Amino acid sequence: MVLGLAAGCSRPYVAPLSPPPLREQVAASYETTWRALIGALARENIPLRVVAKDSGVIASDDFTTPIGAYADCGRIGDTILEGEALVNFTVFVQSAGSNGTEVQINAKMRTQAHRKGSSGKLRPNPVYPCVSTGRWESNLVDAVRQAVRQ
């Protein structure tokens, strides 16, 4: 009976809404865009798992970021989750002919250590899914566009 009352008082986990993958066009050739993309990822010190220029795919390893910076991990009841998230990105690059180069960025994220609100100890479990805030993707595309202009 006590267990049933405790379960009835717990707050539900509310997952954030997942945005679509970022799709942008860069006004430069595939080769120029690719070099700028690799340079931007190197400056950000992003650990890469796959770099396949011939197929236009770059995939990162998991890296840790504070929840809220690149990852929105939802809330429990009215309290936002805080802590750290594991994040990885997959970037697809494709020539758009005379229109430049198309870039698509997909994100996958989950909590690594979290707490409800700003108090309490970080806990690794349970693991919650997270979604991208869009900041990392837009910053990367901005860095690529700036590099191809130079």
Tens of pLDDT, residues 83-92: 999 999 999 9
| Structural domain includes residue 4 | no
The SS3 assignment for 143 reads helix
Number of separate domains in the chain: 1
Alpha helices in the chain (DSSP H): 2-9, 30-43, 135-149
Evaluate whether residue 77 is within a structural domain: yes
The reply to whether the predicted model has a pTM over 0.75 is yes
Domain containing 129 equals 11-149
In a domain, 94, yes or no: yes
Residue type, 25: Q
Q: Note the pLDDT tens digit of each residue in 7-22.
A: 455 678 888 888 899 9
CATH number of the domain that 37 lies in? 3.30.530
Residue 2 inside a domain? The answer is: no
- Classify residue 74: in a domain, yes or no: yes
| Angle of CA points 70, 11, 81, to nearest 5° | 20
Residue 11 CA to residue 7 CA, distance in Å, equals 9
Q: Are 108 and 88 in contact (CB under 8 A)?
A: yes
Question: Do 83 and 70 touch, CB atoms closer than 8 A?
Answer: no
With respect to residue 58, please indicate whether it lies within any of the assigned structural domains: yes
Residue-level pLDDT at 3? 44
